[in-house]
A and B are shown apart, each in its own frame.
Chain A
Amino acid sequence: MPVGSPRPCDGGACFLLILAAACCMVAACSGRPALAEDVTVEWTIRPRPPVAGTAALAELTLRDRARRPVRGARLQVEGHMAHPGMAPLVATAAERGDGVYQILLRFTMRGNWILLVTGKLPDGRRIDHRIDVNATGPAG
């Protein structure tokens, strides 16, 4: 036996359409520059692991498929904590020659950090690379 009473729900169907539209919008293709898939990013950081509250030097080395250094890239690093809502680090890399780029970072908190290396190569293609780093607490 049916129980309960129906209730008019204005605009329900309309919002299902909006939901679908939102999904389509987010999934839509974008016209961003091509990703330089043949370029590898190798990295080191000192000290390793980095210590929260003190400076750490990250060094990125860009090489093409033939292992030749990639020069002239403009690189930026965004450092995000794993938890949303924390203050990110933003730094620009300085080129040191032979495809080597350095960035000075100061991790503000212990824990897992995601470093996003983004930038452009001289040929217009983009670099998009993720590095996971765990920052520890100060000794003692």
Chain B
Amino acid sequence: MDAGSIIESMSMPPARQADVLRWPVIGAFLRWRHARTSLQLVVLLITATLVAHGLFGSQIGPRNLATVVTWVHYRGLLVIALLAAGNLFCTGCPFVLVRDVGRRVRQPWLRWPHRLRTKWIGILLFVSVLFIYELFDLWALPRGTALLVLAYFGAALSVDLVFAGATFCKYLCPIGQFNFVASTVSPLALQVRQPETCRTCRTFDCIKGRPETNQRGCELGLFLPAKIGSLDCTFCLDCVQACPHDNVALAVGVPGAELLDLRRRSGIGRLTERWDVATLTVLFAFGGLLNAFAMTAPVLDLERWLARVMGSTSEAPVLAVLFVVALGAVPLAALGGAAAVTRHLTRPTSYSVGQIAVRYACALVPFGFGVWLAHYGFHLLTGGLTIIPVAQSAIIEVVGWAALGAPMWQWTGMQPGAVFPIQLGFILLGSIGSLALSYLISERDYPDRPVFAAAPWLGVVLVLAAAAVWILSQPMEMRGLGLSG
């Protein structure tokens, strides 16, 4: 089936009303040909500074820009941007900028193998980064953080200098996979403005690009007329630049609505047939819980107990057991159990337990996003201002005198107690979103018995919400020395 017949066969939704690309100032900037490069340059400059400080500056985490900016500001601003707008941090990704420079020297000569065009490797890398972060206490290691950032640059460059398109972004990048899932609950999405214009288009520049102007099309294989939502979209704006009909909108929509969409989407297929995407969404939700739990006092008590039981003096096997339980056994039991109950309550049904779990997995995304937001938002709100004394301290390291004044260490942020209600709000909103999605999926798949079908999933979401509230209410214990601490 060629692109023209795809357009003819699909039923494109009408363009939504608000189009950010038509707004003054912001819209004009985003439509500017060099908008993305400008953002990338700014982020690259910041990244270069913090990598340099991470490598050569103070190796005390809270006094180093690499650890402070990466683990307090970057993560917090990332989730806030995703909540308020969309995948803006992929737009400004400096790894892709360096890759683009590399591609001016050497063009990729291979295509990513078909059998690897899934999320499985990306999932493995996503979990690996979470594991490495906990194992090595990366938040406390400026040089380790800087090396991780450099590893991202190296990986993006080496993969994309060999394989065409946005192979690293789409199939490998752990941050990208996180952003793709989270952006499904963002309010903005790039989409066609006027479907009629696409029906008469025969050049398909949005995906093929315009070689005469060196403008590439979507490197992630998202053909705009068949694109639904923001999954796999890096907000690179290439389609905006490539479309000769100016027919791309950055439209406002209902966050999470795309997760209900059963249609085949370009570059992805049907969500209900993508076990890898379903797995990614589940790990996104449970990974958020585990990542937050790892900052509390009970997890250290649990780790020490496990270490005694296992007779281990090393943290790695203990942490591995925690990961297997939290990201493997518990999700399998929760989703498998809920799917089995749904199947039982909706007999006769045409779906297997596995298929039911895949169809409902995406309902956990809003909850997971709420957990990440509560966690990363906490660090940003309580520690956002620490960048000031840390920058002052860095200047003293570099020039030998207090050019920006003595470090004002009293500048931190909000009191943790004041942030707690905000965190509860994020968990509540996320949970409401997941409850709503669970019910809407049930209405979609079991119109005769939506309440019965939804009941176990509502239970799963409520239990997860209770777990999240419990985790957030635990005393924090910020370790930086592993089990020995």
Contact across chains for A88 and B409 when beta carbons are under 8 A apart: yes
CB distance from A29 to the nearest CB of B (A): 8
Kindly state whether residue A8 has any CB partner on chain B within 8 Å: yes
Contact across chains for A112 and B478 when beta carbons are under 8 A apart: yes
The chain B residue with its CB closest to the CB of A12 is B101
The one of A2, A26, A78, A109 in contact with B477, judged by C-beta atoms closer than 8 angstroms, is: A109
Q: Which of A1-33 contact B (CB under 8 A)?
A: 1-13, 15-16, 18-19, 22-23, 25-32
Kindly state whether residue B464 has any CB partner on chain A within 8 Å: no
Kindly state whether residue A114 has any CB partner on chain B within 8 Å: yes
Chain A residues closer than 8 Å to B476, beta-carbon distance: 109-111
Chain A residues closer than 8 Å to B384, beta-carbon distance: 85
The one of A2, A19, A26, A132 in contact with B44, judged by C-beta atoms closer than 8 angstroms, is: A19
Contact across chains for A111 and B479 when beta carbons are under 8 A apart: yes
Contact across chains for A84 and B386 when beta carbons are under 8 A apart: yes
Contact across chains for B52 and A130 when beta carbons are under 8 A apart: no
CB distance from B186 to the nearest CB of A (A): 25
Most buried by B among A3, A9, A18, A134: A9
The one of B41, B62, B398 in contact with A84, judged by C-beta atoms closer than 8 angstroms, is: B62
CA distance in complex: A132, B32 (Å): 51
Kindly state whether residue A83 has any CB partner on chain B within 8 Å: yes
Most buried by A among B45, B52, B394: B52
Chain A residues closer than 8 Å to B68, beta-carbon distance: 84-85
Kindly state whether residue B63 has any CB partner on chain A within 8 Å: yes
The chain A residue with its CB closest to the CB of B386 is A85
Chain B residues closer than 8 Å to A3, beta-carbon distance: 107-111, 164
CB distance from A126 to the nearest CB of B (A): 11
With A4-B103, A85-B71 as known contacts, state yes or no: A10 contacts B37, CB within 8 Å.
Answer: yes
CB distance from A95 to the nearest CB of B (A): 22
CA distance in complex: A6, B102 (Å): 10
CA distance in complex: A1, B164 (Å): 11
CA distance in complex: A47, B379 (Å): 29
Proximity bits, B44-59, A CB within 8 Å = 1, else 0: 1100110011011100
Contact across chains for B479 and A82 when beta carbons are under 8 A apart: yes
Kindly state whether residue B480 has any CB partner on chain A within 8 Å: yes
Contact across chains for A12 and B164 when beta carbons are under 8 A apart: no
CB distance from B315 to the nearest CB of A (A): 14
The chain B residue with its CB closest to the CB of A24 is B52
Contact across chains for B52 and A26 when beta carbons are under 8 A apart: yes
Kindly state whether residue A36 has any CB partner on chain B within 8 Å: no
Contact across chains for B107 and A84 when beta carbons are under 8 A apart: no
CA distance in complex: A80, B396 (Å): 18
How many residues does chain A have at the interface if contact means C-beta atoms less than 8 Å apart? 49
CA distance in complex: A134, B479 (Å): 9
Proximity bits, B68-110, A CB within 8 Å = 1, else 0: 1001100000000000000000000000011011011001111
CB distance from B405 to the nearest CB of A (A): 15
Contact across chains for B56 and A109 when beta carbons are under 8 A apart: no
CA distance in complex: A11, B44 (Å): 11
Contact across chains for A116 and B60 when beta carbons are under 8 A apart: yes
Kindly state whether residue A41 has any CB partner on chain B within 8 Å: no
Most buried by B among A8, A29, A82, A86: A82
CA distance in complex: A6, B104 (Å): 6
Chain A residues closer than 8 Å to B53, beta-carbon distance: 26
Kindly state whether residue A87 has any CB partner on chain B within 8 Å: yes
Stretch with Cβ within 8 A of A (4 or more), from B114-122, B209-217, B327-335, B346-354: B209-217
Contact across chains for B100 and A9 when beta carbons are under 8 A apart: yes
Proximity bits, A70-94, B CB within 8 Å = 1, else 0: 0000000010111111111010000
CA distance in complex: A122, B412 (Å): 32
Chain B residues closer than 8 Å to A18, beta-carbon distance: 45, 48
Kindly state whether residue A137 has any CB partner on chain B within 8 Å: yes
With A18-B48, A82-B137 as known contacts, state yes or no: A9 contacts B412, CB within 8 Å.
Answer: no
Q: Which of B390-442 contact A (CB under 8 A)?
A: 390, 394, 396-401, 409-410, 412-413
Kindly state whether residue B34 has any CB partner on chain A within 8 Å: yes
Chain B residues closer than 8 Å to A25, beta-carbon distance: 52, 398
Kindly state whether residue B113 has any CB partner on chain A within 8 Å: no
The one of B37, B72, B409, B485 in contact with A85, judged by C-beta atoms closer than 8 angstroms, is: B72
Contact across chains for B140 and A82 when beta carbons are under 8 A apart: yes
The one of B62, B110, B399 in contact with A86, judged by C-beta atoms closer than 8 angstroms, is: B62
Chain A residues closer than 8 Å to B480, beta-carbon distance: 81-83, 111-112, 114
CA distance in complex: A7, B386 (Å): 38
Q: Which of A104-121 contact B (CB under 8 A)?
A: 109-112, 114, 116
CB distance from A20 to the nearest CB of B (A): 9
CA distance in complex: A26, B108 (Å): 35
Proximity bits, B253-284, A CB within 8 Å = 1, else 0: 00000000000000000000000000000000
Contact across chains for B398 and A4 when beta carbons are under 8 A apart: no
The one of A1, A12, A109, A116 in contact with B100, judged by C-beta atoms closer than 8 angstroms, is: A12
Kindly state whether residue B139 has any CB partner on chain A within 8 Å: yes
Kindly state whether residue B252 has any CB partner on chain A within 8 Å: no
Most buried by A among B53, B62, B215, B383: B62
CA distance in complex: A70, B165 (Å): 65
The one of B139, B211, B386 in contact with A82, judged by C-beta atoms closer than 8 angstroms, is: B139
The one of B45, B104, B478 in contact with A111, judged by C-beta atoms closer than 8 angstroms, is: B478
Known pairs A7-B216, A8-B214, A83-B379. 18 more at Cβ < 8 A? A3-B107, A4-B107, A5-B211, A5-B214, A6-B107, A12-B101, A22-B48, A25-B52, A80-B62, A81-B62, A82-B62, A82-B480, A84-B67, A90-B410, A109-B476, A111-B485, A114-B62, A134-B481
Contact sample, A vs B, 6 pairs, CB 8 Å cutoff: A2-B109, A3-B109, A6-B107, A26-B53, A26-B394, A30-B398
